[in-house]
Amino acid sequence: MIHIGISPARRAFLRDALAMAPAAVAGSTLARAVCAATAHPFKPTYFHPAEWITLNALVDRLIPADEQGPGAIQAGVAEFIDLQMNLPYGYGALWYMHAPFVKGASPLMGYQLEFSPRTMYRSALAGVARAVQTQHHKAFSELEDASKDSLITDLEDGKLNIGDVPPADFFAQLLQNTYEGYFCDPKHGGNKNMDAWRMINFPGARGDYMDWVEQYGKRYPLPPVSIG
Amino acid sequence: MADIKMKPVDAVIVGFGWTGAIMAKELTEAGLHVVALERGAYRDTYPDGAYPKTLDELTYLQRWKLFQDMSKTSVTFRHAGSDSALPYRQIGAFKPGEGVGGAGLHWAGQHWRVHPEELKLKSHYQEKYGRKFIPNGMTLQDFGVTYEELEPHFDFVEKMMGTSGQAYWVKGQVVAGGVGNPFEADRSDNYSLPRQKTPYPAHLFEVAARECGLHPFQEPSANVSQPYTNQYGCQMGPCNFCGFCSGFACYNYSKASPNVNILPALKQVENFELRSNCNVLRIDLDSTKKKATGVTYVDAKGNTVEQPAALVIASTFAYNNARLFLLSGIGKPYDPTTGKGAVGKNLAYQTMSSVRMFYGPGKNLNGFIGAAGNGVALDDFNADNFDHAPLGFVGGGPVWCNPTGIKPISGIPVPTGTPKWGKNWKTAVKDNYTNTTSFEVHGSNMVYADNYLDLDPTYTDSFGQPLLRFTFDLKDNDIRMSRYITEQMQKVAKAMNPKSIQTSVMQIGDHFDLRPYQTTHWAGGVAMGLDRSTSVLNRYLQSWDVHNVFAVGSGVFPVGIGYNPTGLATALAYWSAKAIREQYLKDPRPLIDA
């Protein structure tokens, strides 16, 4: 089942986008889609409105919606990331964060930054907005898809100056959280309706393949199971 | 000064993973009053492995629910003695355990013995290939115990874990038509249970490997094939290939763990007490520094507690015994400039490579089906099962296709050249998720004069004690070994007839990368051996310097081995326990005069 409609997250993003920058969005596909918006949109609790618009627009390009399966927005990726920011993970409380932090360490040594996910997103999303404004005199969300993708590629390659956070480190954090929100159990707020699992035929928490181990080459027929 | 002083006990055990649980069982059987101290939380199948909440990839794999609490402690790394070490801030290359059961609760369940020559690696290579074959700087040593001495303990551990497999030999006779591993050493008995089922990818690997003239066999697996009750009366249920093994507690009692296979029996005896959330700071010594008086730990409330004990067993995770010995002043710290001292020496990891096959839509390999300890392996390139003379490297490794249950966040493999995001990534994920598999070369890693452990001068844990510092890098010998086997295995990959093959192997000159998961199999730091100048423990795992301290776990290995370490570490724990029960308790003194 392919969901053509939009999730509450996308609706919230679009409504906020309209509220904050109506001129820029008017006439776009986003504005048309907003007509479908209904009540009870997701309200981010960590991200500020401007950050929320940028975050949604970023993950929308990392995993775009198409005929194959849900996009990141439909899957609830941005909602998932917002929820994660309020957990110990968001505060960096799962990591060894004792000082001193050494700058310029070899990437082979793993994560050596002082940023928690919360502080990294706060700094980097503002940095992305600044960089895009300087280059294009627009917000990231207002750009054409090709321009968005080009900026994301610069981020990935470490070429987009976004301030204090090394761009490739922010990209890695964002991509990891995007994968997580796309493919996690729906109980965490992402992977809405398990559609990402359906797309790849992952049965989730089915939890018993005793009779399937030696049935070679057959497509597994049962739908996925959530623990939620 | 301690806030609290406890009543003396006969034995205190530091760390309650596989080897701590084994020592607790053995010493309580001997009538000792035993207290086990575990730094992490209490854990058991319920609630920590309860269905359905345990089948949650995000919580257990990406948020490290059962792994070490990194916010409190970690280790530091540097590639060479001239570098400054940096802390391992996020779990990447390896996944240390914490909590009752230790890494034995979230391991995969691959249960191997050892190849006999690996227990005497130095003398074996010298005798067979000549003294000059071992390169300068490679500090090989013998364990000081033989396969024949350990065989009864390997057999006992297989019966304890319900290990499922098919022997090749039993008492010198080929059994079951020789479908087992023809390279394995002789055994006194078959495995406890019949071999496991074979998932489709492992079947393809088996057929292709045989076509190529190699000798594939079903891996011995501690994910059991049938219902089972072990010597201790602990019960297991048959594995149903749910695909949530490594990193998880098994909800089905199918994967052997200290929590399933030993703890239920220990709970029944009055002379055993398990205290969780108790972090041992040091082993306390008397004024002679030749005898331990017990341990000092911090309890869950933050009290500093002194626990006097007549016997101390150090059974912390792999390398942490080296840290405990260094913090306690037991043994002589290794000095890489003089080569003298042994605590922290003989550090070994493993050298991994993988070969992945992509088939495209319609193959339905269904990689979500799996049991992490099960699959098809071959030993043609492990240990000294092949002639090293023309190759010029020491070591080897088993190769296996063991479908462990591919879960989507951990990374859906995609063919080389696929972007990491966008529409093309999505298409590749959709097309490949159920249509790809891989096999791994699980290579040994040798020991070197300049790979070692000591205490970090800068970084500390939440108790203010220095972190353990790794000075460690990969060496040409091991990379050449890995590259040779991986190259030999290309023909098997081709015979599996995929659309494309993706090989991940180290290049000469590559440095150790702490980011991608490789393996948790560290060894060394408190090596056992026959010579007190090059080992920390004697052949019974007794400290040369403080006779009422014994250490168990893979930290006692003086060299790296090809197989996963749990089978050898657990057999050695029983070997040590036998010496304590039969010799030491009657006459507490050094079991070997030195």
Which domain does B522 fall in, by range?
Answer: 4-71+97-584
Instruction: Using an 8 Å CB-CB cutoff, list chain B residues near A105.
Output: 86
Rounded to a whole number of angstroms, the distance from the CA of B89 to the nearest CA of chain A is: 4
- Would you say residue A113 lies in a domain? yes
Rounded to a whole number of angstroms, the distance from the CA of B70 to the nearest CA of chain A is: 5
Alpha-carbon gap, residue B16 to B104, rounded angstroms: 9
Query: What is the separation of C-alpha B490 from the centre of its chain, rounded to a whole number of angstroms?
Result: 27
Rounded to a whole number of angstroms, the distance from the CA of B239 to the nearest CA of chain A is: 8
Instruction: Using an 8 Å CB-CB cutoff, list chain B residues near A64.
Output: 422-423, 426
ipTM value, please give it: 0.96
Q: Give yes or no for A67 touching B (CB within 8 A).
A: no
Asked whether the beta carbons of residue A220 and residue B366 sit closer than 8 angstroms, the reply is yes
pLDDT of residue B594: 66
Which of A:118-177 have CB within 8 Å of B? 149, 152, 156, 175-176
pLDDT of residue A35: 36
Alpha-carbon gap, residue B570 to B554, rounded angstroms: 9
Q: Is B547 a catalytic residue?
A: no
Asked whether the beta carbons of residue A212 and residue B369 sit closer than 8 angstroms, the reply is yes
CB neighbours of B464 closer than 8 A, spacing ≥ 6?
none
Rounded to a whole number of angstroms, the distance from the CA of A159 to the nearest CA of chain B is: 17
Alpha-carbon gap, residue B74 to B456, rounded angstroms: 11
- Would you say residue A158 lies in a domain? yes
- Would you say residue B430 lies in a domain? yes
Asked whether the beta carbons of residue A94 and residue B368 sit closer than 8 angstroms, the reply is no
What's the CATH number where B438 sits? 3.50.50.60
Rounded to a whole number of angstroms, the distance from the CA of A9 to the nearest CA of chain B is: 20
Asked whether the beta carbons of residue A96 and residue B74 sit closer than 8 angstroms, the reply is yes
Report pTM: 0.95
pLDDT of residue A17: 43
pLDDT of residue A36: 40
Asked whether the beta carbons of residue A219 and residue B434 sit closer than 8 angstroms, the reply is yes
How many domains, in total, are found in chain A? 1
Which of A:35-54 have CB within 8 Å of B? none
E-state strands within B371-465 = 376-378, 399-401, 436-443, 452-460
Cβ atoms of B285 and B132 closer than 8 Å: no
Alpha-carbon distances of B470 from B75, B77, B88, B357, rounded to whole Å:
7, 5, 10, 35
Nearest to A214 among B92, B198, B407 (CB): B198
Asked whether the beta carbons of residue B515 and residue A110 sit closer than 8 angstroms, the reply is yes
Instruction: Using an 8 Å CB-CB cutoff, list chain A residues near B363.
Output: 217
- Would you say residue B196 lies in a domain? yes
pLDDT of residue A117: 98
Instruction: Using an 8 Å CB-CB cutoff, list chain A residues near B241.
Output: 208-210, 212-213
Asked whether the beta carbons of residue B71 and residue A93 sit closer than 8 angstroms, the reply is yes
CB neighbours of B243 closer than 8 A, spacing ≥ 6?
A209, B368, B369, B370, B371, B404, B405, B406, B407
DSSP type of residue A109 = G
Q: How many CB atoms lie within 10 A of CB A166?
A: 19
The tokens describing B79, both together, are 């590639």
Asked whether the beta carbons of residue B422 and residue A208 sit closer than 8 angstroms, the reply is no
Beta bridge pairs of residue B455: B468
Nearest to A200 among B58, B69, B429 (CB): B429
- Would you say residue B90 lies in a domain? no
- Would you say residue B538 lies in a domain? yes
Q: Give yes or no for A61 touching B (CB within 8 A).
A: yes
Alpha-carbon distances of B478 from B349, B379, B443, B503, B516, rounded to whole Å:
10, 17, 8, 17, 18
pLDDT of residue B411: 79
Alpha-carbon gap, residue B448 to A174, rounded angstroms: 39
Nearest to B71 among A96, A102, A208 (CB): A96
User: What one-letter code names the amino acid at B84?
Assistant: S
Rounded to a whole number of angstroms, the distance from the CA of B55 to the nearest CA of chain A is: 6
Count the residues in chain A. Answer: 228
- Would you say residue B120 lies in a domain? yes
Asked whether the beta carbons of residue A199 and residue B408 sit closer than 8 angstroms, the reply is no
- Would you say residue A15 lies in a domain? no
Asked whether the beta carbons of residue B366 and residue A111 sit closer than 8 angstroms, the reply is no
Q: Which of B33, B106, B442, B521 is catalytic?
A: B521
Q: Give yes or no for A105 touching B (CB within 8 A).
A: yes
Asked whether the beta carbons of residue B53 and residue A227 sit closer than 8 angstroms, the reply is yes
- Would you say residue B79 lies in a domain? no
Which of A:193-212 have CB within 8 Å of B? 196-197, 199-210, 212
Q: What b/e string do you get for B437-464 counting C-beta neighbours within 10 Å, with b at 16 or more?
A: bbbbbbbbbbbbeebbbbbbebbebeee
Residues of chain A with pLDDT under 70: 1-40
> SS3 of B571, please?
helix
Nearest to B409 among A61, A94, A179 (CB): A179
> SS3 of A181, please?
helix
Helices A49-62 and A145-156: angle between axes, nearest 10 degrees: 90
Which domain does A55 fall in, by range?
Answer: 44-200
A-B CB pairs within 8 A amount to: 166
Q: Give yes or no for A220 touching B (CB within 8 A).
A: yes
Question: Considering just the CA atoms, what is the radius of gyration of chain A in Å?
Answer: 19
How many domains, in total, are found in chain B? 1
- Would you say residue A123 lies in a domain? yes
Helix, strand, coil percent values for chain A (each to nearest 5): 55, 0, 45
Residues of chain B with pLDDT under 70: 594
CB neighbours of B173 closer than 8 A, spacing ≥ 6?
none
Instruction: Using an 8 Å CB-CB cutoff, list chain A residues near B87.
Output: 96, 98
